[in-house]
Structure 1
């Protein structure tokens, strides 16, 4: 599946072309928001720098091992808990090794946060860029988000080889690293060039030279695949389930964290087939195929 970037922003205001005043509260030693000199130096470096595979793999392994030691939640390669602090810690480790801490320093001057989402059921991660001042040339706020749902569904109850960004992953922590690397490259592009797309040459060049990525997609275990493999349930199947003690019959319309089942109901919502249904959101394990 395609690993996508999501960007949101307010409607831009035309740039006045006037110099922007330095933002109050910028810490000593930290660059000003969107400092042209800082971003220009980063652009020149990111465009050409290459790491030997041995050095790259050594740093990635160091990050893997340090996450196991320093995290309060990640207690093993196939951890059962993870926190937003773990995402921030992992990205910081990458920045310290590959960029001497300069990417997050520049991003923090504008605003950056890290999150986990249980609602992302098809993409492994996303970078959201917002423009709170309403200007495309103004200060930005970055949000780097990883999908906890896909992480926990992978290396769980469906067994097959897992690849992220063209890299074979042996456990959940390695998969988390590859997704974090992918989103970190999105952050780098947006920070420096205010634009980016993982299907284009510049992104893929950076991801390959820094992290050895050979693809921009992942094949993590989605809930739809899990439904088919574990429960033999697919979109369009007729199913039976119990709700408040009543036996219900319907058809699977969608599969995300739960299955959306449409049950015929004369008083329900009218759908495109001209019939009326009530929606039920049912855990997969409660469905029986008719």
Structure 2
């Protein structure tokens, strides 16, 4: 554990190398699509980080490897590491939130993850995985892990130059507390550099926004056609504001 260390000048290059290998190995075509986030991608990220950064620590010290899973129910954290210690074995699982990563895409990659900016969903997933791999290392070495603790923060900085121990992407909780958007309101939002205008038809965890579109699937009594968008409240602005 103590031998694991990445020089400050190398971490950016290492991320580029890992990302390049990941895209080539899996034939990823669209780094802005949530479809790029799947179990195969996560497993490949673990193997690449283990080789490039962790000196095969996972391979040599975690006999059964790390299980991976995806969740649409996690809305406050981008990832979660589950550690179970049994009589004769230890189990590790990393769970990734598709909901948070979709918000990251929808926000056009606003907000830092662990204090680091990203440019696409692969960057976001890699940064979350760096954080979760620190949990795996701490659980493996000490039996407990706390990302608010000094030991974890020191490890995250030493390995990945993480300047924060949280995933600062937009969360539903933040959206609900901060938004003044109301049903029936005319709003605008930007997605992948393009501006859209519509009317808020409902608000739950996200706002349902009806956007006029000649090829839309929904039609009103006047014959206007619309597409339905589910948009994080933090992305919406009242039209004219």
- TM superposition score normalised by structure 1: 0.59
Distance, in Å, in 1 between the alignment partners of 2:97 and 2:169 is 11
SS at match of 1:86: helix
Counterpart for residue 100 of structure 1: 55
Q: Does the CA-based 8 Å contact 1:151-1:172 persist in structure 2?
A: yes
Equivalent residue number for residue 68 of structure 1: 23
- Residue by residue, what CA displacement relative to the aligned partner does 1:28-66 show, whole Å, maximum 9, x if unpaired? xxxxxxxxxxxxxxx342xxx432222221111111112
Q: CA–CA distance in 2 between the matches of 1:201 and 1:57?
A: 24
| Cα distance, 1:205–1:171 mapped onto 2, change above 3 Å | same
- Asked if residue 125 in structure 1 is aligned to residue 79 in structure 2, the reply is yes
Equivalent position to 2:12, from 54, 57, 73: 57
Equivalent pair of 2:109/2:119 in contact (CA under 8 Å):
no
Where in structure 2 are there 5+ consecutive unaligned residues? 185-201, 209-228, 232-241
Residue 125 of structure 1: CA displacement?
0.2
Distance 1:201 1:229 in 2: 31
Higher RCO, 1 vs 2 (CA within 8 Å, ≥6 residues apart): 1
Q: Which runs of 5+ in 1 are unaligned?
A: 1-42, 239-250, 260-282, 286-290
Aligned-partner SS, 1:116 = strand
**CA 1:213 to 1:202, structure 2 compared with 1: closer, same or farther past 3 Å?**
same
Q: Does 1:144 align with 2:101?
A: no
**Distance (whole Å) between structure 1 residues aligned to residue 109 and residue 41 of structure 2:** 26
Distance apart, 1:115 and its partner CA: 1.4
**CA-to-partner distance for each residue in 1:188-247, whole Å, 9 max, x for gaps?**
0111111111111111111101101011012212245567899925xxx99xxxxxxxxx
How many residues were matched structurally?
A: 194
Contact kept, 8 Å, 2:79 with 2:132, in 1: the verdict is yes
Instruction: Name the CA distance, whole Å, in 1 between partners of 2:30 and 2:179.
Output: 25
- Provide the TM-score with structure 2 as the length reference: 0.70
SS in 1 for 2:34: coil
Partner SS, residue 130 of structure 1: strand
CA contact (8 A) 1:68 1:76 kept: no
Largest Rg, 1 or 2: 1
Deviations 1:253-279 (A, max 9, x none): xx54799xxxxxxxxxxxxxxxxxxxx
